[in-house]
Amino acid sequence: MSVLESIPLSLLELATVPQGADIPQTLQHMLEHARHADQLGFKRLWLAEHHNMAGIASSATAVLVGQVAAHTRQLRVGSGGIMLPNHPPLVIAEQFGTLASLYPDRIDLGLGRAPGTDAITSRALRRDERRADHFPAEVAELQRLLGKSTGGHAVHAYPGSGTKVPIWLLGSSLFSAQLAAQRGLPYAFAAHFAPRYLHEALALYRREFQPSEQLAKPYAIATLPLIAAATDQQAQYLATSSQQRVIALMTGQPLFLPPPTRNMDALWDLPMQAQVQSFLAMAVVGGPATLAFKLASLVQELEVDELMFTNDIYDRQQRLDALDIVMAATRG
């Protein structure tokens, strides 16, 4: 058995709106994408939380988690992640406790401490900028609210108490890696947009991990940008959609996913090209043979337990086909 055959494959979904599409179409296509992933044997699909970003429709994360769970059978569905400083822990415990009651043993709760938006929108969310400093305490509060009910507390989550929804810590720096290790929680690193600290964070997490009731040994996911196609040339062409969207992000433009282009040189200068390539440094782009080689090399290099992918392809059918291609390429 090859190293890839034993590695679970998962997906991160932002409900990205393609240019020319609307939100209802995007959400229906997202559900189609999830059903196809479920049929192919992907392990989990997580939904991100972003606010006030034209082109990204995953702001009501818990609602979308419920919809995806309702339209799939085996797939674990969760948040990748809930930005905890935006929400009272009790509300999140009730939401995910309800989801876990409806879909037993299929719900994950991934937590981050970033705002998932800009400063103005943070204020609209009534977000206290100091809340991020209390992230460790609020993670502990969520663990209590979702764990076995005990005495000595006036506030409980109903639904939520006793559901033991698996809590994951997500991050793009060393902070969450260290906290996940200290708390004995599974960890996912966001290398799809912040690859700089990937190796250091994973090493720190493994080195400092303390077993817990939830997890006996370290379990880490690396989230990577993936563009899969029938050939390397086709994949490189399809990857220009995500490259254009990174340019939009860096220049403050709406984040609708554009169609691919044959001429990126008309859209970036050398400094912008370098920034985009740095942002997407962990992107895996190619046909089946290239994907298999690159992914096997990354698994051995990073020593991760699971791979999670973004799938930013403009065309609906090609996006579905990419799931077949990566699964076939990694399963021998």
Please state the rounded mean pLDDT for residues 278-293: 97
DSSP, res 282: T
In contact, 14 and 56? CB cutoff 8 Å: yes
pLDDT for position 125 = 57
Residue that wins the pLDDT comparison between 122 and 295: 295
pLDDT surpassing 70 at residue 173: yes
Residues making up the chain, counted from first to last = 332
Question: Cα separation of 107 and 126, whole Å?
Answer: 27
In contact, 308 and 224? CB cutoff 8 Å: yes
pLDDT for position 149 = 75
Please state the rounded mean pLDDT for residues 17-32: 97
* Burial track 113-149 (b if 16+ CB lie within 10 A, e otherwise): bbbbbeeebbeebebeeebbebbbebbebbbbbbbee
Please state the rounded mean pLDDT for residues 202-212: 97
The owner of tokens 């996940």 is 180
List the domain boundaries for the chain. Answer: 9-226+302-314, 227-301+315-332
What is the tens place of the pLDDT at every residue in 66-79?
A: 999 999 999 999 99
pLDDT for position 114 = 77
pLDDT for position 152 = 72
3-class SS string, 119-133:
HHHHHHCCCCHHHHH
pLDDT for position 2 = 74
pLDDT over 90 for what percent of the chain? 86
What is the tens place of the pLDDT at every residue in 89-131?
A: 999 999 999 999 999 999 999 999 876 555 665 565 555 666 6
pLDDT for position 253 = 96
Question: Cα separation of 113 and 125, whole Å?
Answer: 14
- Range 9-226+302-314 has CATH code 3.20.20.30: yes
Please state the rounded mean pLDDT for residues 223-241: 98
pLDDT for position 150 = 74
